[in-house]
Structure 1
């Protein structure tokens, strides 16, 4: 029996040249290649990857090419850059073979932990007073963790541009709860 892992990530912005202002790459081709390699160094074919928004800035063909190179069953929580000016899912994003239909919000459970997924950080979230967790993107590692809420995007210094497991994302937060 194969074991399926779940990973969380956000804010790849494949092909988005403005990301080069804060990332150590010379051009978007180098950035895209590094992000693909980092993803595939962690994710296996059957694993689930929750992408919490802002997937790609490329054309349909280039976005589809990148998508096909990424391992795993990909699920998208829509970010602001995944939508067009009318608020509809960008054509280059909508046509991809997502594991489930892209959505603005989702919840999942892992080992008894309830996890709320959104592109945006929230001060309070569903079941937060009952111990649920909240993962988000959008802030590119600039927004510190708050209670049981944290950024899981590729720009966070502790993820190395790769999707991360829930256990790794929450380890330091759980340690802080024990100390408090």
Structure 2
């Protein structure tokens, strides 16, 4: 079976205060979290790859059992690019996240190939990135739709209208980009 790659950022599972700070259409954080899980599993199969570009969970880090339970319900082989809410006060990956079954150790940035192009992923937006001058695409999160993409970069956060809480493929995320020839 063909393995697909998906991208998403800023799920903020368990982050109840987020519902007051940003316009997410949920009455409770439990409703929010269940919606994220349902959207994720509506497109991702167990054999697929999902790159999560940071801020996976927040207040749930105080409840490791709930973090594990939600993580276990999400389909796919999951990679984490570390976001600002994924670390403790000293900047270390939060222990609750470190013990989850990520496909590899979470990192500050990752690169992959998709759609015949290099893809550079980080939680934070960059003005330039590896191979950007050769047509590489950059996916980021963190800005919650408030920072427009630059060139071949774009926000892949759950609150982007075309992401809508659902992991998206490279072709979906780049549909409105003018990708230069000569990859």
What is the TM-score normalised by the length of structure 1? 0.95
Secondary structure of the corresponding residue to residue 17 of structure 1: coil
Shift of 1:76: 0.2
Aligned-partner Cα distance in 1 for 2:99–2:42: 25
1:11 aligns with 2:6: no
SS at match of 1:106: strand
SS in 2 for 1:114: strand
Pairwise CA RMSD of aligned residues? 1.3
Secondary structure, aligned partner of 2:17: helix
Deviations 1:15-73 (Å, cap 9, x if unpaired)?
00122122000110000000000000110110000000000120211100000000000
Counterparts of residues 22-61 of structure 1 (less than 5 Å): 22-57=23-58, 58=60, 59-61=63-65
Number of corresponding residues: 176
Could you tell me how far 1:142 is from its partner in structure 2? 1.6
Q: Which runs of 5+ in 1 are unaligned?
A: none
* Counterpart for residue 63 of structure 1: 67
CA distance in 1, matches of 2:69, 2:83: 20
Match of 1:117 in 2: 121
Cα distance, 1:97 vs structure 2: 0.3
Q: 1:111 & 1:123 partners in 2: Cα distance?
A: 22
Q: Contact conserved, 2:115 with 2:171, CA < 8 A, in 1?
A: no
2:90 equivalent in structure 1? 86
63, 73, 92: which one aligns with 2:77:
73
Aligned partners of 2:7, 2:102: CA distance in 1, in Å? 15
Q: Which has the higher helix share?
A: 1
Q: CA deviation at 1:174?
A: 2.6
